[in-house]
Amino acid sequence: MATSSPARTDVALRAAHRGDLERILFLLEASGLPAEGVEEALGASFVVAQRGSALVGVAGIERHGGWGLLRSVAVRDDQRGTGLGRVLVENRVEWARARGLFGLGLFTLDAAAFFAHLGFERVERGDVPEPLRHSSEFQLICPMTASVLLLRFDESGAQRKAQMRAKYANAAVRALGNGRACSPDAEGVRFGAAAYDAALLEGVPTRAADASLACGNPTALAGLRDGESVLDLGSGGGLDVLLAAKLVGPSGFVHGLDLTAEMVELARANQRESGVANARFLEGDIEAIPLPDASVDVVLSNCVLNLTSDKRAALREAHRVLRPGGRLAIADIAVRGDVSPEDRREASRVLGCARAALEIDAYEELLNELGFAPVGFVQLKRYAASDFTRLDPTLAGDAPWLARVTRDDGRFESVFLRATRT
């Protein structure tokens, strides 16, 4: 299948497969590029350009932690100067961005100007991100002759939200299509119905439970009462809304709010299947909640606050829509102590949600400042090295960042927090 089209309409790009190996190696040799590791890395992270039956170009990405090493960019001699090299690189940049990589690095002897023209910046060897230093290319290059270039994917808040939508839309579409949202390791999305007692899930559509991306079970801890009005921030596939709707009974009502249209669609499909009448799902941003002031008794949220870039706005909004005396019940990922942005990004690639998680003291401070009291935390789980390697079996157990984020019993934790609107 063609993945994109170069300027020349008679050339098509497609994902490489094993049958291409020999011709790729031939192209690399003709371009004086190393072949080590290509066979192992071959697959969707490599793209080839085909003209008729001939293979005329290749480019690949080797993943190292949250970074990609752009490698094996080669174009057949008679196709040089056609813009095909640029198209191959842009295709791989797009591929890496869509997978949430932090950026791409590359090593080159003679093509630094070409890559600089495409936005890559020349850096010193010492500035190469740690994961890329483990690549065999980094170990092998001659520091005197090779240039190192990096392309960092800097994202604005809007871009981050767009990426988040794309990630969760993908998970929701899978859930709607297959009955199971996705494998636990797909695209950094972690599913968490394990946080719920099996008895609680009785009568809930299997698809709703399977699509859970929970850090905990806030409905169980919120002490929901008959007749209460509830809002779930970032309701995903709708499991907490459906459970809360049972707990508040027919005289109560539950709103679910989510940024991702496909998640809202999935939640509505789950609601129809469950026959729950006292709930509705809205598409919208928790940083601008589409509900009137003082209109709900309880705000729930499960593994969402850590994802939002403007937590102050989201919690201020939660405060606004709660009635005085209303309760906030959140399950979330939080951080203990200082963790560098780089280590957060690495941990987040595995946990799915840790990059912008709040430090526990900062969480408490912010809630107090916004008018919530008293604020209480319950620690649900701290993440040890074995949790990270279970979630990502390809992870090097001795990675230095892993040692840093798991010291002192673990720097990342799932917490439940409870607070009251004063």
Q: List residues binding ligand SAM (CB under 6 A).
A: 164, 168, 212-214, 234-237, 239-240, 257-260, 263, 285-287, 302-304, 307-308, 353
The H or E element that residue 388 is part of is helix 385-391
If you ran DSSP here, which 8-state letter would residue 372 be given? B
**Per-residue buried b or exposed e for 148-187, using 16+ beta carbons within 10 Å of the residue's own CB:** bbbbeeeeeeeebbebbbebbbbbbbbbbeeeebbeeeeb
Neighbouring residues of 40: CB distance < 8 A, sequence distance ≥ 6: none
The minimum distance between CB 381 and ligand SAM, in angstroms, equals 15
The minimum distance between CB 165 and ligand SAM, in angstroms, equals 6
The minimum distance between CB 304 and ligand SAM, in angstroms, equals 4
Of residues 47 and 213, the one with the C-beta less far from ligand SAM: 213
Of residues 38 and 239, the one with the C-beta less far from ligand SAM: 239
The minimum distance between CB 206 and ligand SAM, in angstroms, equals 14
Of residues 148 and 257, the one with the C-beta less far from ligand SAM: 257
Identity of the amino acid at 315: L
> Rounded to a whole number, what is the largest CA-CA distance in the chain?
75
From residue 64, give the alpha-carbon distance in Å to each of 94, 240, 244, 330, 403. Answer: 17, 36, 42, 34, 17
Residue 374 preceded by cis peptide, ω within 30 = yes
Identity of the amino acid at 144: M
Of residues 296 and 307, the one with the C-beta less far from ligand SAM: 307
According to DSSP, the residues that pair with 67 across neighbouring strands are: 64, 103
The minimum distance between CB 90 and ligand SAM, in angstroms, equals 28
Distance in angstroms (rounded) separating the CA atoms of residues 30 and 49: 16
The minimum distance between CB 49 and ligand SAM, in angstroms, equals 36
Interhelix angle 261-274/239-248, rounded to 10 degrees, is 40
Distance in angstroms (rounded) separating the CA atoms of residues 330 and 343: 25
From residue 9, give the alpha-carbon distance in Å to each of 17, 73, 95, 302. Answer: 22, 20, 21, 48
The minimum distance between CB 285 and ligand SAM, in angstroms, equals 4
Strands 412-420 and 322-335 turn out to be antiparallel
The minimum distance between CB 59 and ligand SAM, in angstroms, equals 32
> How many Cβ atoms are within 10 Å of 206's Cβ, its own excluded?
13
Of residues 123 and 169, the one with the C-beta less far from ligand SAM: 169
Of residues 68 and 234, the one with the C-beta less far from ligand SAM: 234
Q: Nearest to ligand SAM by Cβ — which residue?
A: 236
Of residues 57 and 238, the one with the C-beta less far from ligand SAM: 238
The minimum distance between CB 211 and ligand SAM, in angstroms, equals 7
The minimum distance between CB 160 and ligand SAM, in angstroms, equals 9
> How many Cβ atoms are within 10 Å of 40's Cβ, its own excluded?
8
Of residues 69 and 305, the one with the C-beta less far from ligand SAM: 305
Of residues 266 and 339, the one with the C-beta less far from ligand SAM: 266
The H or E element that residue 362 is part of is helix 360-369
Residue listed under structure tokens 């040089």: 80
The minimum distance between CB 360 and ligand SAM, in angstroms, equals 19
> How many Cβ atoms are within 10 Å of 392's Cβ, its own excluded?
16
Of residues 92 and 190, the one with the C-beta less far from ligand SAM: 190
- The two tokens of residue 107 are 């090593």
> How many Cβ atoms are within 10 Å of 398's Cβ, its own excluded?
8
52 φ/ψ angles, rounded to the nearest 5 degrees: 60, -130
Of residues 124 and 197, the one with the C-beta less far from ligand SAM: 197
